[in-house]
Chain A
Amino acid sequence: MDTALSTATDPVVAAAAMPRARVLGAYLQEARSECLRYLRTPSFLLPTLLFPSVFYLMFGIFLAHANGPDAPRYLLASYVTFGVMAPGLFGFGVSLALERDNGLLALKRALPMPPGAYLLAKMLMATLVAAVIALILLGMAVFLAHVDLRAGQMLALFATAVLGVLPFCAMGLWLGTLIKGQGAPGLVNLVYLPMAFLSGLWFPLPLLPKILQRIAPVWPSYHLDQLAMAAVGMNKGALLPHVLTLVGFTAMFLLLATRRLRRYG
């Protein structure tokens, strides 16, 4: 009697089957909610958008003459890199640290959310914010600083920004598994700001002490900055090593993060 029931006709099994269109729908809903959520959170969005643009306005445009004719172009690459780091580090690191602490992650894991939806949604949100930052800075460079950029260069910088957010998403994810709770924003800043400084995003590397110049390649932001420089025509060196290093960083942080998430939840 039991064996006469086939799996397909068993209502108990059929009830749990999820059509592919609905799975896709769940991914979209998750992404939509994540984006809405952060667009409505000024304490996340405003600093993320304002810091790089205000810095660029001050040092790349108003005070640029003191720094030589190439300063607006040079600093465009630096501040795009600086700006792109934040949505990855904060969107992943801080939000994961908070959601691990306040029970939201546990609820999401208990619900039948498709397994990748949570991370993909955050990644999409970070990419979107990175794209907006790149567009704002490009607009300022072209219309306020009158930097002479070809269409190809703009496109290259935009692509660098949008893809360049990924290593920082992975790094944020890993940081988010290490820290927990309300102290997270401060701790992530302790990583973000020194790393930006040590990669030469605030002061050009040649102005920093020799030892700091030598260890700069340790930071992922250094490599993204090199790619951003190349996009605006200020770095004629080989690009592949930087791309590969960033891919390596992404893989390493992802691996560390998934190991910790699996072990500690």
Chain B
Amino acid sequence: MPHFDDPIARLGGVVKRYGRLTALDGAELQLRRGELLALLGPNGAGKTTAIGLLLGLIRADAGTVELFGQDPQRSQARRRIGVMLQHAALPQTLRVGELLRLTASYYPAPRALAETAALAGVGDLLQRPYAKLSGGQQRRVQFALALCGRPELLFLDEPTVGLDIEARQKLWLTIRQLIAEGCAVLLTTHYLEEAEALADRVCVMAHGRVIHEGSVDALRARVAIRRIRCRSTLAVETVRGWPEVNEAQADNQQLRISTAAAEAVVRRLLDADPGLCELEVQRAGLAEAFTELTRDADAASATDQREAA
């Protein structure tokens, strides 16, 4: 019996191989009702394979794949999802309204055409053939197709590639609105600021495994490094010599320091240079955290391979 707290999408210990290449190597992933989970990872980490399994496009070699507690290859499970894939060329000669009507016909209780069009901002494009649209407009139409079926779970694969800043902000706004209505979203993106702006949780993949899962803040906190900037007359070599400092660079009189012990370094800086000004201390962004995490995973994987060899 389905329970309200049950995950609506789940990968449990999933292995998927393509010949000698292992795309997923025991991946674990759970998505709950109404949350936005961002799936991050470098190219080749296994994100596309994970999405393909959850959409029922491919079958796992081992492990369980569930969508609303069912096999995703059953269309009954997929009637509750909306899909926007990164690479999908829609029929060029069909008009936007025709594409929307066709996709809506697959669902039991779709939104009205006008509602979908308004949500995705394609109301003025309905009579236009798909081929005549700009890249950004085509992206918006694909987004409209994803949400037209009133889905409980939306798969968005790189939804804002090719969008200008304004269009991206608009799309984010609509995504937030859908989440407020109770729709869950599985987002894959290369833009970390997009994950930062939207995600409740992020899930970082590398080498076919999930190497980190948690809130955006938790991911940032995993990286203890903080950045210090200031204007100072101190020589960069001196600062670099301090044991707490990982790295220091100077640019005119701008000092840029990265350290795991920001408080201690700041105290030393102020003691050494009373004239110091424009002091800034920042936690590393998601981008740094992400880079560090995946670099660790790369190193671990390289060690594994050496040991295996």
Q: Which residues of B contact A225 (CB under 8 A)?
A: none
Do the beta carbons of B79 and A16 come within 8 Å of each other? yes
Cβ 8 A contact of A109, one of B1, B57, B81, B93: B57
A5 close to B90 (CB less than 8 A): no
The reply to whether the CB of B308 lies closer than 8 angstroms to some CB of chain A is no
Given contacts A104-B91, A110-B78, contact A18 B108 (CB under 8 A): yes
A15 lies within 8 A of B94 (CB): no
Name the one of B78, B90, B102, B152 contacting A112, with C-beta atoms under 8 angstroms. B78
> B101 — nearest CB in chain A belongs to which residue?
A29
Partner of B98 from the list A13, A26, A28, A33 (CB cut-off 8 Å) is A33
For the complex, give the distance between the alpha carbons of A189 and B56 in Å.
34
Given A16-B108, A33-B102, output 7 extra A-B contacts at Cβ < 8 Å: A3-B1, A10-B1, A15-B80, A33-B91, A103-B87, A110-B85, A112-B75
Closest to A3 in B: B1
CB distance from B71 to the nearest CB of A (A): 13
Q: A33 CA to B107 CA in the complex, in Å?
A: 16
What does DSSP make chain B's interface, helix, strand, loop or mixed? Answer: loop
**B residues engaging A (CB < 8 A)?**
1-3, 55-58, 68, 75-81, 83, 85, 87-91, 93-94, 98-99, 101-103, 105-109, 129, 149, 152, 155
B107 nearest in chain A by CB position: A112
Q: Give Cα A40–Cα B98 distance, bound, in whole angstroms.
A: 13
Question: B85 near A103 (CB under 8 angstroms)?
Answer: yes
- Determine whether A12 belongs to the interface, using a CB cutoff of 8 Å to chain B: yes
Evaluate contact between B98 and A114: CB separation under 8 angstroms.
no
B155: chain A residues within 8 A (beta carbon): 110
Given contacts A15-B109, A15-B152, is CB(A10)–CB(B68) below 8 Å? no
Q: Does A111 contact B (CB under 8 A)?
A: yes
Asked whether A107 and B105 contact (CB < 8 A) given A102-B88, A112-B149, the answer is no
User: Could you tell me the distance between the alpha carbons of A107 and B68 in the complex, rounded to whole angstroms?
Assistant: 19
A28 and B108 alpha carbons, distance in the complex (Å): 15
Bound Cα distance from A79 to B42, whole angstroms = 56
Of all chain B residues, the one with the shortest Cβ separation from A40 is: B93
Docked complex Cα distance between A25 and B79 (Å)? 15
* Interface residues, chain A, with chain B CB atoms under 8 Å away: 2-3, 5, 10, 12-13, 15-19, 22, 25-26, 28-30, 32-33, 36-37, 40-41, 102-104, 106-107, 109-115, 265
Complex formed: what's the CA distance from A19 to B109 in Å? 10
Chain A interface helix/strand/loop/mixed: helix
Chain B residue nearest to A117 in the complex (CB)? B106
Q: Are B68 and A16 in contact (CB under 8 A)?
A: yes
A104 cross-chain contacts in B, Cβ below 8 A: 88-91
Sample of 29 A–B contacts (CB below 8 Å): A2-B1, A12-B2, A13-B2, A15-B108, A18-B79, A18-B107, A28-B105, A29-B102, A30-B105, A32-B102, A33-B98, A33-B102, A37-B93, A40-B93, A102-B87, A103-B87, A103-B88, A106-B57, A107-B85, A107-B88, A109-B56, A110-B56, A110-B83, A110-B155, A111-B78, A112-B79, A112-B81, A265-B57, A265-B58
A26 B105 Cβ-Cβ under 8 A: yes
Instruction: Identify the interface centre among A13, A104, A112: most chain B CB within 10 Å of its CB.
Output: A112
Alpha-carbon distance A253/B76, docked complex (angstroms): 29
The distance from the CB of B283 to the nearest CB of chain A, in whole angstroms, is: 38
Output the least CB separation between A124 and chain B (Å): 15
Instruction: Output the nearest chain B residue to A39 by Cβ-Cβ distance.
Output: B93
Contact A2–B3 (Cβ < 8 Å): yes
In the bound assembly, the distance between CA atoms of A17 and B101 in angstroms comes to 19
Residues of B within 8 A of A109 (CB): 55-57
